[in-house]
């Protein structure tokens, strides 16, 4: 049975945006009073939140598939759809979020940090929001876009000031239990500790956290034993304490050889760029189990060699609590020095986000080859999103898409890329939307059954008012009088000719 997990792959699916609504308002004596379709609701996000009360990723190991709520559809009478419910996933402080390729997306090192791992889809606009002076009664609405769907990798790295390192059963769990209020599992068999244990130590005015991490053996940097599960949790610690077992009964083992193995594994582990290598960090040595007479004699024997190599050495006993006070104050001194050095470092440079100018970098045209010749692929957030929002069963919606693409400069970009009329154009990656490019048609409105800006269901009132009828009657009577006058002139002219 798995009791601790520090790396897991999550399969996330954000909520889909709701579709906009096509609706026409109806009132008494005014059956077609204009569009009133509401907008669709946005889909819910999947958000990772660093929680100090969460210590493991075990729940995500058993349930890696997580989905947020979908947005509601828009409705008539200008009623917008409900926004989808966002999903918050609590993760331990120190969780690193990566994409499947291994690129780090965010490092949740502070309690309360939030990261939107899967943004929800955008709700579609209803026909009321799409109406303009030229398009008074749109007969279409925009569809909602799907939410983000993919995988992220969560990797837990313990956040502590001090790491206790050593072979299995060296007494690390006993030491953290003696120094703090932590109560880890303690037994006399190897790999009793299967997951990091954290304890808080108070030494005078200093307070620091100690991590008891799984035991280390030779080859751990290559994955032997608990391998990387151990070394991953040492990365964030500023001070290393080597706990050496002076009472081991294993043949061929002694404190000096154990230390050499540990140092070799620490040197072989590559830390992330910008972090101090493990061997360059402050280190102390705790010779444990000196309450045993033979162990005390061995500790006195190797102490001189260890101090000659530049280490500060403390002889301790977690059972008799010998030397623990001196060790805790020595650790506190190193932790305080590290914190002081961090305070003197300049503040990190702020990241300035400058938005792109309008129309700059919205898309690009890529020429791909195929068995039937070259085709042109349009890649960009806006055109791809617009295609997803378009109902291709509605001619007016297709015309609106064509207008948007033309305003974005798609035709000019295709001309510059060398496209000719009839060339195959695809919008988006993969299969995408395929069409034959015809630059002579600036819009798909030519295929519509009604002019742009009108709708056969919402015809204007063409009945004449009283003043209009009176004005038209006067014009008709004036025209008749003019015709009678012309007829009288022609009759008189004909009579004069007959008289002559």
Per-residue pLDDT of the chain (500 residues; tens, 9 = 90+): 345 567 899 999 999 999 999 998 887 777 677 889 999 999 999 999 998 888 778 889 889 999 999 999 999 889 999 999 999 999 988 888 999 988 888 888 888 899 999 999 999 999 999 988 888 888 899 999 999 999 999 988 777 788 888 887 777 778 888 887 656 544 443 444 445 677 778 888 888 888 877 655 554 444 444 444 556 777 778 888 888 888 877 777 788 888 888 888 788 777 777 778 888 889 999 898 888 888 888 888 888 888 898 889 898 888 888 888 898 899 889 988 888 887 676 655 555 555 555 545 678 888 887 656 678 888 888 888 998 999 888 888 888 888 888 888 888 888 888 888 888 888 888 777 787 777 755 444 443 444 444 444 334 445 566 677 778 878 888 888 888 888 888 888 887 777 76
Question: Six-digit token pair at 371?
Answer: 């068995």
CATH number of the domain residue 227 falls in: 3.40.50.300
- pLDDT digit string (tens) for 351-398? 555 555 554 567 888 888 765 667 888 888 888 899 899 988 888 888
The reply to whether 454 falls in a domain is no
Annotated binding residues, written as ranges, equal 166-173, 191-195, 212-215, 288-291, 317-319
- At 351 the pLDDT is 52
Question: Six-digit token pair at 181?
Answer: 């209020």
| CA distance linking residue 288 with residue 306, whole number of Å | 14
Domain check: are 169 and 304 in the same one? yes
- At 293 the pLDDT is 86
Count of structural domains within the chain: 4
**Residue at which a domain ends, from 156, 176, 194:** 156
Domain check: are 241 and 316 in the same one? yes
Annotated binding residues for GTP, written as ranges, equal 166-173, 191-195, 212-215, 288-291, 317-319
- Please state the three-class secondary structure of the chain as a single string: CCCCCCEEEEEEECCCCCCCCCCECCECCECCCCECCCCCCCCCCEEEEEECCCCCCHHHHHCCEEECCCCCCCECCCECCCCCCCEEEEEECCEEEECCCCCEEEEECCCCCEEEEECCCCCCCCHHHHCCCCCCCCCCCCCCCCCCEEEEEEEECCCCCEEEECCCCCCHHHHHHHHCCCCCCCCCCCCCCCCCEEEEEEECCEEEEEEECCCCCCCHHHCCCCHHHHHHHHCCCCEEEEEEECCCCCCCCCHHHHHHHHHHHHHHCCCCCCCCCHHHCCEEEEEECCCCHHHHHHHHHHHHHHHHCCCEEEECECCCCECHHHHHHHHHHHHHHHHHHHHHCCCCCCCCCCCCCCCCCCCEEEEEEECCEEEEEEECHHHHHHHHCCCCCCHHHHHHHHHHHHHHCHHHHHHHCCCCCCCEEEECCCCCEEEECCCCCCCHHHHCCCCCCCCCCCCCCCCCCHHHHHHHHHHHHHHHHHHHHHHHHHHHHHHHHHHC
Domain check: are 44 and 131 in the same one? yes
Annotated binding residues for Mg(2+), written as ranges, equal 173, 193
Domain check: are 34 and 171 in the same one? no
Domain check: are 130 and 100 in the same one? yes
Strands 312-315, 283-288: pairing is parallel
CATH number of the domain residue 389 falls in: 3.30.300
Range of the domain at 182: 162-344
The reply to whether 259 falls in a domain is yes
**% of the chain at pLDDT higher than 70:** 81
The reply to whether 353 falls in a domain is no
- At 491 the pLDDT is 83
CATH number of the domain residue 100 falls in: 2.70.210.12
Domain check: are 218 and 248 in the same one? yes
- At 463 the pLDDT is 57
- At 406 the pLDDT is 84
| CA distance linking residue 259 with residue 278, whole number of Å | 14
Quick one: CA torsion of 242, 248, 252, 256, rounded to 10 degrees? 30
| CA distance linking residue 485 with residue 226, whole number of Å | 114
- At 452 the pLDDT is 46
The whole model's pTM is what? 0.66
Domain check: are 307 and 193 in the same one? yes
Domain check: are 221 and 331 in the same one? yes
**Residue at which a domain ends, from 122, 139, 156:** 156
Domain check: are 339 and 437 in the same one? no
Domain check: are 43 and 119 in the same one? yes
Domain check: are 467 and 437 in the same one? no
Domain check: are 246 and 302 in the same one? yes
């Amino acid at each position: 049975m798995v009791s601790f997990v520090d790396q897991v792959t999550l399969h996330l699916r954000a909520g889909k945006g709701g579709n906009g609504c096509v609706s026409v308002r109806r009132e008494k004596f005014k059956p077609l009073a204009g569009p009133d379709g509401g907008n669709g609701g946005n889909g819910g996000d999947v958000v990772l939140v660093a929680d100090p009360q969460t210590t493991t990723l075990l729940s995500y190991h058993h349930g890696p598939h997580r989905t947020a709520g979908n947005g509601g559809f828009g409705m008539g009478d200008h009623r917008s759809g409900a926004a989808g419910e966002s999903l918050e996933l609590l993760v331990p402080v120190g969780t690193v979020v990566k994409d499947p390729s291994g690129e780090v997306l965010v490092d949740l090192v502070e309690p309360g940090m939030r990261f939107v791992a899967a943004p929800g889809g955008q709700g579609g606009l209803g026909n009321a929001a799409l109406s303009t002076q030229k398009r008074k009664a749109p007969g279409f609405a925009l569809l909602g876009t799907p939410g983000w769907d993919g995988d992220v990798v969560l990797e837990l790295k313990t956040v502590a000031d001090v790491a206790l390192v050593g072979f299995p059963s060296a007494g690390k769990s006993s030491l953290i239990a003696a120094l703090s209020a932590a109560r880890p599992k303690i037994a006399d068999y190897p790999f009793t500790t299967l997951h990091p244990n954290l304890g808080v130590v108070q030494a005078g005015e200093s307070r620091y956290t100690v991590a008891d991490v799984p035991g280390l053996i030779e080859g751990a940097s290559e994955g032997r034993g608990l391998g990387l599960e151990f070394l991953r949790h040492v990365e964030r610690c500023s001070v290393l304490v080597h706990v050496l077992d002076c009472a081991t009964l294993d043949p061929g083992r002694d404190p000096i050889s154990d230390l050499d193995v540990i140092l070799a594994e620490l040197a072989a582990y590559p830390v992330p760029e910008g972090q101090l290598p493990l061997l360059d960090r402050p280190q102390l040595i705790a010779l444990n189990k000196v309450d045993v007479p033979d162990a005390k004699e061995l500790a006195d024997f190797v102490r001189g060699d260890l101090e000659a190599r530049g280490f500060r050495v403390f002889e301790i006993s977690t059972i008799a609590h010998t030397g623990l006070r001196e060790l805790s104050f020595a650790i506190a001194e190193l932790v305080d020095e590290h914190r002081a050095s961090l305070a003197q470092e300049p503040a990190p440079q702020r990241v300035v986000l400058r938005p792109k100018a309008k129309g700059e970098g919205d898309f690009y045209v890529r020429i791909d080859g195929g068995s039937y010749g070259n085709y042109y692929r349009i890649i960009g957030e806006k055109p791809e999103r617009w295609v997803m929002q378009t109902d291709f069963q509605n001619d007016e919606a297709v015309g609106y898409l064509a207008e948007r693409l033309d305003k974005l400069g798609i035709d000019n970009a295709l001309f510059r890329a060398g496209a000719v009329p009839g060339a195959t154009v695809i919008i988006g990656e993969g299969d995408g939307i395929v069409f034959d490019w015809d630059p002579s048609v600036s819009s798909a409105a030519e295929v519509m059954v009604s002019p742009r800006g009108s709708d056969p269901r919402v015809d204007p009132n063409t009945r004449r008012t009283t003043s209009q009828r009176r004005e038209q009657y006067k014009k008709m009577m004036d025209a008749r009088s003019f015709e009678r006058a012309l007829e009288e002139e022609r009759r008189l002219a004909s009579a004069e000719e007959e008289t002559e």
